[in-house]
Amino acid sequence: MSALKSVDPLLEVKDLRVDRGGVSVVRGLTVRVFAGTVAAIVGPSGAGKSLALRAVARLVPSTGDVTFEGKRTDELSARQAVRLGIVLVADGRSVFERLTIRENLAIGAWTRADRYAVRHEMAALFDRFPDLGRRPNLLAGDLSAGERQLLAIARAMMAKPRLLLLDEPSTGLPPERVAEIFEVITRLNSDGLPVLMAEQYERKALALSDYVYVMDRGVIAKQGVPREIAHEPEIEDAHLGPARA
């Protein structure tokens, strides 16, 4: 994990609110992500974590202030947010199942005009993710759940993110694949990529995060550094549960 590298946050979210069907699902969310760090929003299903990330990525309407690299982004389109470098890997391992691995990666670079660099970076990603590189012409629909998650992350990398948003990256994966995905996240962060992650698999998220926000029923119930959060009895009992292997 990286130490905080900037006094000013890379991403600052203030008083974010997201309504769905007339109900406030996210209420007054305030989150900061610093350069070179991993921040995690943890909490139970239905807490509002995914909607919060989608709002930061400008995929759902919201109110509140969102600032990225000192610029207001809360009135941008999703396309403009990607061009700025805010890239979301959505939950559910969403890939284009009828397209090949190579074609999925090419779609990840849809905002870019530097074709030579795109080809070079795709080759580098095949080296980094050999499970994908060995079968670049395989349909994404024929991949395992873990391989689809790797492809979703690799496709996001093709957009050259300056902030990677990860929504529930471990959901539905067997333990060995969960460990692999979190190792990938750790390596990306070690390369300097800041990450904001929403995750139910809280203990794993705490293990690699620099700062943690515990979310419950649309609001932040607690926040702090992982070593403090993990040992508070009320948080442990309500949100973390028994340790997993």
Domain-located, residue 108:
no
Residues spanned by the domain of 56: 11-96+160-239
- Cβ–Cβ under 8 Å, residues 169 and 200: no
pLDDT (tens digit per residue) in 125-160: 999 999 999 999 999 999 999 999 999 999 999 999
Structural domain tally of the chain?
Answer: 1
The stretches of 129-231 forming alpha helices (DSSP H) are 130-133, 145-157, 175-190, 202-208, 226-229
Domain-located, residue 168:
yes
Q: Which two tokens stand for residue 129?
A: 């993710």
Q: Give residue 3's pLDDT.
A: 47
Q: Which two tokens stand for residue 12?
A: 């600052």
Backbone angles phi, psi at 81, to 5 degrees: -65, -40
Q: Give residue 192's pLDDT.
A: 96
Domain-located, residue 154:
no
Q: Is the pTM value of this prediction over 0.75?
A: yes
Q: Give residue 86's pLDDT.
A: 98
Q: Give residue 229's pLDDT.
A: 81
Domain-located, residue 119:
no
pLDDT (tens digit per residue) in 57-85: 999 999 999 999 999 999 999 999 999 99
Give the separation between CA 226 and CA 154, rounded to whole angstroms: 27
Q: Give residue 35's pLDDT.
A: 97
The strand ranges marked E within the chain are 11-20, 23-33, 38-42, 63-68, 71-72, 86-89, 163-167, 195-199, 211-216, 219-224
Q: Give residue 235's pLDDT.
A: 58
β pairing state of 71-72 and 63-68:
antiparallel
Q: Give residue 162's pLDDT.
A: 97
Helix 145-157 to helix 175-190 angle, to the nearest 10 degrees? 10
Q: Give residue 6's pLDDT.
A: 47
CATH classification of the domain holding 55:
3.40.50.300
- Cβ–Cβ under 8 Å, residues 190 and 164: no
Helix 101-108 to helix 115-128 angle, to the nearest 10 degrees? 130
Q: Give residue 77's pLDDT.
A: 96
Q: Give residue 171's pLDDT.
A: 87
Give the separation between CA 157 and CA 122, rounded to whole angstroms: 9
Q: What is the mean pLDDT of each run of 10 residues along the chain (245 residues)?
A: 65 97 94 98 92 97 97 95 96 88 95 89 95 96 94 96 96 89 95 95 86 95 89 58 48
Domain-located, residue 173:
yes
Domain-located, residue 89:
yes
Domain-located, residue 43:
yes
Quote helix, strand, coil % in the chain, to nearest 5.
40, 25, 35
Side chain identity, residue 82: V
Closest alpha carbon to 125 in 147, 142, 148, 102: 102
Domain-located, residue 226:
yes
- CA-derived radius of gyration, the chain: 17
